[in-house]
């Protein structure tokens, strides 16, 4: 860029924060949505950067894309934000002097403002700078009356390196309520494995507050396939839900003593419940298609009302594999004369895997 160019460049598009190493999957997913909507966009992604920029042709396309994302969330993005501008050549001494005009140019006021960096090695090194700048930013925005408690918007400044920022905006009601889209969950004392955080996060991210209250009630019943040592079972038992834990491996002794857990040393692909249960959860390390087919069997037979399951994705074409799994479960739903409600997400606590909530309507 020549020196005379403005450091601020307006953009119509999206910024997606994702797990480092999954930028291609995220870009492929954004492109697939774009193809379905005919919005004419393209992705900019760099491996291990922890983010993807998706650039659209104009504001109308971005608005159409934005609307579609409200009803069908992205799998590989922890947070997606409407991009307004890219600011290059931030001076080391007074970054806000350059950023404030770009913020004003959005024409919006904001309920809050977050300065975030990607969840990458370089990005994490910027977290101190983000915190220091964030405090000064809020002061400057208040001074210019750009902060308004009743605004529906939250400002996000994505600091990519000390001299480059992306100016982006989230609708508070339709975005992750955590910086970087990362829920900081504390490991619960007494839980038998770290996997417990996956199911806890899944309940937070894939269900809304009303659904959690209605669908996770004391006295309900569940089956946990591939349960040992019991992190997922623990999440259900702590909600006073009765669990049949299916696994040839040993379960945590404390869980078995709770009186809420029945351990069956059986094959999770063959096990059938004696009567229908409220929940099926499944964390078996197996081919994703095989897991999806079994979940389809359970839902179509009415053996469970709700299912949460993990799809392990050691392959290259991870987005395609998840779509194929969705197709498998949708076919089972159609066979039962029902429609599938499918919510898949790569959670913060997921590694090479995604977690799915599914039910039939
Ligand atoms: C990732 S671990 C599950 C961890 C568990 N969700 C937790 O929170 O502690 C996978 C488990 O699946 C079990 N598993 C794999 N194949 C299975 C099968 N066919 N039937 C039952 N369990 C199986 C393994 O024995 C292992 O304990």
222-235 pLDDT, tens per residue?
999 999 999 999 99
Task: From 155, 181, 207, give the residue that closes a domain.
Answer: 181
Tokens at 69, concatenated? 């994302």
Q: Does 247 lie in the same domain as 142?
A: no
Q: Is 226 in the pocket of ligand 1 (CB under 6 A)?
A: yes
Distance 350 CA to ligand 1 centre (A): 15
Tokens describing residue 105: 């140019």
What is the model's pLDDT at position 6?
Answer: 58
Domain of residue 37 covers 8-181
Which residues are known binding-site members for S-adenosyl-L-methionine? 195, 228-231, 247, 267, 283
Domain total of the chain: 2
> Are residue 262 and residue 153 in the same domain, yes or no?
no
Mark which of 181, 213, 229 sits at the end of a domain.
Answer: 181
Residue ranges of E strands in the chain: 8-17, 42-45, 51-55, 79-87, 112-116, 153-161, 164-171, 221-225, 242-246, 261-264, 277-282, 304-312, 340-345, 353-360
10 conformational bin, left if phi > 0, alpha if psi -120 to 50, beta if neither:
beta
Assign 57 to helix, strand or coil.
coil
Residues of the chain scoring pLDDT < 70: 1-7
Q: Which helix (H) or strand (E) holds 256?
A: helix 253-257
Does the annotation count 312 as an active-site position? yes
Write down the pLDDT at residue 72.
Answer: 87
For residues 261 and 307, state if they share a domain.
Answer: yes
Residues 159 and 230 in one domain: no
Pocket test for ligand 1, best of 228, 246, 255 (most atoms within 8 A of CB): 228
pLDDT digits (tens, 9 = 90+) for 55-100: 999 999 999 999 999 888 999 999 999 999 999 999 999 999 999 9
SS3 351: coil
For residue 5, what pLDDT is reported?
53
The percent of residues above 90 in pLDDT, for the chain, comes to 95
């Amino acid at each position: 860029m020549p020196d005379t160019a403005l450091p601020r460049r307006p953009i119509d598009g999206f910024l997606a924060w994702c797990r480092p190493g999954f930028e291609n999957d995220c870009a492929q997913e954004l492109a697939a949505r774009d193809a379905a909507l005919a919005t004419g966009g393209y992705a900019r992604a760099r491996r291990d950067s922890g983010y993807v920029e998706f650039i659209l042709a104009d504001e109308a396309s971005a608005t159409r894309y934005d609307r579609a994302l409200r009803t069908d969330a992205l799998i590989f993005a922890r947070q997606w934000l409407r991009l307004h501008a890219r600011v290059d050549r931030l001076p080391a001494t007074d970054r806000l002097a350059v950023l404030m005009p770009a913020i004003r140019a959005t024409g919006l006021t904001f309920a809050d403002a977050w300065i975030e960096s990607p969840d990458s090695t370089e990005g994490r090194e910027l977290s101190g700078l983000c915190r220091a700048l964030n405090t000064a930013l809020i002061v400057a925005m208040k001074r210019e009356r750009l902060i308004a408690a009743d605004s529906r918007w939250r400002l996000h400044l994505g600091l990519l390196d000390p001299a480059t920022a992306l100016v982006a905006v989230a609708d508070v009601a339709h975005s992750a309520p955590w910086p970087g889209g990362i829920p900081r969950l504390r490991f619960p004392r007494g839980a038998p494995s770290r996997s417990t955080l996956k199911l806890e996060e899944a309940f937070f991210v894939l269900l809304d507050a009303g659904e959690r209250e209605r669908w996770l009630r004391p006295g309900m019943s569940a089956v946990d396939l591939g349960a040992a040592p019991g992190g997922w079972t623990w999440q259900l038992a702590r909600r006073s839900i009765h669990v049949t834990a299916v696994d040839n491996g040993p379960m945590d002794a404390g869980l078995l003593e709770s009186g809420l857990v029945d351990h069956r040393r059986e094959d999770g692909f063959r096990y059938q419940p004696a009567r229908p249960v409220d929940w099926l959860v499944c964390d078996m390390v197996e081919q994703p298609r095989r897991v999806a087919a079994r979940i389809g069997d359970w839902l179509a037979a009415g053996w469970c009302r709700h299912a949460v399951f993990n799809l392990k994705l050691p392959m290259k074409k991870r987005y395609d594999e998840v779509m194929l799994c969705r197709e498998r479960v949708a076919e089972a739903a159609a066979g039962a004369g029902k429609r599938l409600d499918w919510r898949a997400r790569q959670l913060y606590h997921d590694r090479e895997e995604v977690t799915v909530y599914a039910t039939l309507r």
